[in-house]
Amino acid sequence: MSVAEETLALEAGDAPVEAARPRGISNVATLLFVAADFMVLIGLVAGYYAVRSQSFTWPPVGLGTYLPTMVALTMGMTVITVQWAVWAISRDDQRTTLAALGITIFFALAILNGQWYGLAHLKFGVGAHPYGTFVYVLTAFHMLNVIAGIVVLFAVLGRTVGGEFSADDHDTLTAAAIFWQFCNVAGLVAFAVLYLHP
Amino acid sequence: MTTTDETRTDLSQEDYGVLLGGTDHKSVGAFCLALAFLFLLTGGVLAAVFRTQLAQPKLDVLAHKPYLQLLTFHGSFSFFLFLLPAWIGLAFAIVPLQLGAPRLAMPRLAALTAWLYVGAAGFLIGTAFAQKGAPTNGWSMDYPVPIHGIGGHAVDLWILGVGLAAVATVLGAVNLLTTALRMRAPGLTLARTPMFTWSVMVSSAVFLLAVPVLIAGLIVLYVDHHMGAHVLRANRGGDPDVWRTLFAFFAYAAMWATVFPALGVVSEIFPVFAKAPLFNRKTAMFALAAAGTLAFLGFGSELAGDPAIPQTLFTITSIMILGPVALVMLTWLATVALKRKPPALKAPMVQALGLLTCLGLALPAMAVMEALARGGAGHQSQWWVGAWHQLLVGVATFGILAGLYYWAPKLWGRHLNAGLGSLQMLAVVGGVDLAFIPLLIVGAQGMHRRATTFSSDSWTAANLVATIGAYLLAAGVALFLLNVVVSVVLKRGMVATDDPWEGDTLEWATTSPPPAHNFDNLPEVRSSRPVHDLREAEGKDTTGGPPPEPSPELVEANA
């Protein structure tokens, strides 16, 4: 029911105002939440540079960039695959949507695996030096978001299997994609800060 | 009509209260407010206790450590468990009604927000039972910054408690902003949004971007304090100012964001009781938005004394924010002045006038503090306490009281007692003036913000007056709670009509209290005053006719 029809119905006294769910709520809410999540990242990065400016030798230890670069490239690939899912559903192509979401989730699990392996093989603890602390904190912040993202992507995958989305109605899928793109931004910012420009 | 009745029954079944998992925005809001007032009372009693210690020089009511513990509890309770949940709760209850919406955008998220505040309260109360006792580091956890080993597990609990309150506030802000952006009634454009909702949008946007920075700070503080990292330890390559700066960015913005909705409440009350539209409404909306932006730019003034901070810049921005706030105040005065007729002095208007006097005194106190920030005396002295409390108690808290008098019909279907209300207004205004103006005097003379005792005889009189003011303020809050108990809980308050104040905005187009689905009929929205427009249109239809008789039930209920 469109907004205009809804109003007419109300004036006629046909139904109480518990109308169809207004469109775009999940997208707007996700965008706002992502803005807040991004500010946590900004706060952490600001703290990183504040401590870095106090230090003569930075970073105190050299870290291999091979694994983080591979993880970052995987993030770069999910930037495309998750948009591919949105593109496919807006053309009502359920099978391609499923494929794109499946590939995104596969890559997401690979990202999580790579980061876990990287953290588990670090040669220093979280309290060794401020640089090390931020390696743990920024990576863990990204991993938490990735875990939340994987849960959301699985939920959306299930609803796609159930045929809940169509070209006209796929707000939730778009919202999941927005959140996943934020995970990528957070991961790439952390990668740039910790490894490219330490 | 059968269908309608059935649907309504289904909906009203959902209205069984947030305690049992209900998601009706009015009961979730009332739940947040009840929690908040519990902690206003607790925080107030704590303040009265430690003000007793400062009533005379060299008293022994409280030793150094318990004084600082009570001070930390007072600040943490009053901000994280009173001001934040109170504003989020009032906005949850009122914003959907003002927008003509049946509910919040995400009702279950709202209930989660309320319960997260309960969790936060649990952790913050839990700090009292930690092995080494509650934290003594102040509400900003920087007196001193609790690096590894300082404060014990109490600090961990404090971090978790404040963290939960922060997450709750972010989720509440997301919910309110989404509701205001997506669920407005047809015709209710952003420019026509009611002033209270607009102020909630501004402060939600500030919470949304400022509170996460506190979460970042809490993460750093936690790894330092609990996991033995050295990000905040100066002699190990870290810097305690990382926490101070992140906290100041949050605190300065969030403290202002608790003031904006109070300005919104008064911007609703003045026009309704003056029977005139708000003078230059768009200017007031723009001023609120400008103040919201400036709230992000003044945090450096809270770090006065830190050589890394460009103090001149922050002095300018933190004085600039007072401009738009004063402008909003001027639109209220102009609304009344241009009407050339005194406004109706009903209970909400009485509260709004009380708030106005506090705001008028708070602005110059803030201006002087910021102007002298460079010297570093203001922000670490009692002046800081006096000036900020004039804003946070005299405006932010007072705004919540005024809002509850105004919207009591929609929250409870009854009015709060007006006589008791006037008495309470006098107590709160007197309390704010007596408690906080003397702090400006001793602050200017150098009394430290967290002094636990003093020996100078020249400070005795001012401190005694401030302590009496604190008691008076506590009495004012007690009177308000008494009013709620008598009028609402004991059901002695006048039963309210649907539109008792002849309001302008959509919440007055439904019943008092509204049904679970909020509206049976929505008037057409063609201006920022749809209910006023409706009344005028109806008035034209019945020109010269007698005013409608009150319903027999209402007469009986009020007898």
Count of positions (residues) in chain B: 559
Q: B30 pLDDT band (50/70/90 cuts)?
A: very high
Opening angle at CA B346, ends B258 and B471, nearest 5: 55
Q: What is the pLDDT of residues B263-276, one digit of tens each?
A: 999 999 999 999 99
- The mean pLDDT of A163-176, rounded to a whole number, is 94
How remote is the C-alpha of B467 from its chain's centroid? 23
Q: Is residue B343, in this structure, part of any structural domain at all?
A: no
Name the H helices within B305-346: 311-320, 322-339
- Return the pLDDT at B380: 85
Q: Is residue B360, in this structure, part of any structural domain at all?
A: no
Give the integer Cα–Cα distance in Å for B106 and B424: 36
- Residue B203's domain is classified under what CATH number? 1.20.210.10
Q: Is residue A10's pLDDT more than 70?
A: no
The CA R_g of chain B, rounded to the nearest whole Å, is 24
Interchain contact B102–A (C-beta under 8 A) = yes
Q: Is the dihedral of CA B95, B101, B104, B106 positive or negative?
A: negative
What the block records as the tokens of B26 is 């009015």
Opening angle at CA B299, ends B294 and B303, nearest 5: 155
**Would you call B521 and A130 a contact, using CB atoms and an 8 Å cutoff?**
no
Residues 6+ apart with CB under 8 A from A192: none
**Largest interatomic CA distance in chain A:** 75
Burial class from Cβ neighbours inside 10 Å (0-12, 13-18, 19+) for residue B289 reads middle
Of the candidates B3, B249, B518, the beta carbon closest to that of A17 is on B518
Give the whole-number percent of chain B exceeding pLDDT 70.
Answer: 92
DSSP conformational letter for B395: I
**Largest interatomic CA distance in chain B:** 83
- The mean pLDDT of B534-553, rounded to a whole number, is 64
For residue B514, give its domain range: 28-258+401-540+549-558
- Return the pLDDT at B136: 94
A24-196 maps to which CATH number? 1.20.120.80
What the block records as the tokens of A101 is 């979401």
Q: B374 pLDDT band (50/70/90 cuts)?
A: low
Q: A5 pLDDT band (50/70/90 cuts)?
A: very low
Q: Is residue A13's pLDDT more than 50?
A: no
Opening angle at CA A137, ends A133 and A140, nearest 5: 140
Of the candidates B181, B186, B212, the beta carbon closest to that of A37 is on B212
Q: Is residue B176's pLDDT more than 80?
A: yes
- Return the pLDDT at B548: 54
ipTM of this predicted complex?
Answer: 0.91
Residues 6+ apart with CB under 8 A from B275: B339, B341, B343, B344, B502
**Chain B residue with minimum CA distance to A54:** B237
Q: Is residue B547's pLDDT more than 60?
A: no
Q: Name the phi and psi angles at B151, rounded to 5.
A: 90, -15
DSSP conformational letter for B316: H
- Return the pLDDT at B3: 37
Q: Which residues in chain B are closer than 8 Å to A39, comparing Cβ atoms?
A: 208-210, 212-213, 216
3-state DSSP assignment of residue B471: helix
- The mean pLDDT of B369-380, rounded to a whole number, is 74
- Return the pLDDT at B549: 59
3-state DSSP assignment of residue B381: strand
**Chain A residue with minimum CA distance to B525:** A7
- Return the pLDDT at A94: 95
Of the candidates B4, B216, B239, the beta carbon closest to that of A51 is on B239
Q: Is residue B520's pLDDT more than 90?
A: yes
Q: Name the phi and psi angles at A62, rounded to 5.
A: -85, 140
Interface mutation vs chain B, best among A1, A2, A27, A40, most B CBs within 10 Å: A40
Task: Please state, in angstroms and as integers, the Cα–Cα distance from residue B1 to each residue in A7, A9, B252, B511, B519, following that order.
Answer: 18, 13, 54, 19, 16
- Return the pLDDT at B457: 83
Residues 6+ apart with CB under 8 A from A131: A52, A55, A58, A59, A60, A61, A198
Mean pLDDT of chain A: 90
- The mean pLDDT of B105-127, rounded to a whole number, is 96
- The mean pLDDT of B375-395, rounded to a whole number, is 88
Give the whole-number percent of chain B exceeding pLDDT 90.
Answer: 82
Q: Where are the domains of chain A?
A: 24-196
Q: Is residue B356's pLDDT more than 70?
A: yes
Give the integer Cα–Cα distance in Å for B516 and B97: 11
Interface mutation vs chain B, best among A5, A8, A33, most B CBs within 10 Å: A33
More confidently predicted of A55 and B25: B25
Q: What is the pLDDT of residues A58-70, one digit of tens each?
A: 888 888 899 999 9
Q: A21 pLDDT band (50/70/90 cuts)?
A: low
Mean pLDDT of chain B: 91
- Return the pLDDT at A63: 87
Q: Is residue B403's pLDDT more than 90?
A: yes
Interchain contact B212–A (C-beta under 8 A) = yes
Interchain contact B218–A (C-beta under 8 A) = no
**Chain B residue with minimum CA distance to A37:** B212
Provide the domain count of chain B.
1
**Chain B residue with minimum CA distance to A24:** B182
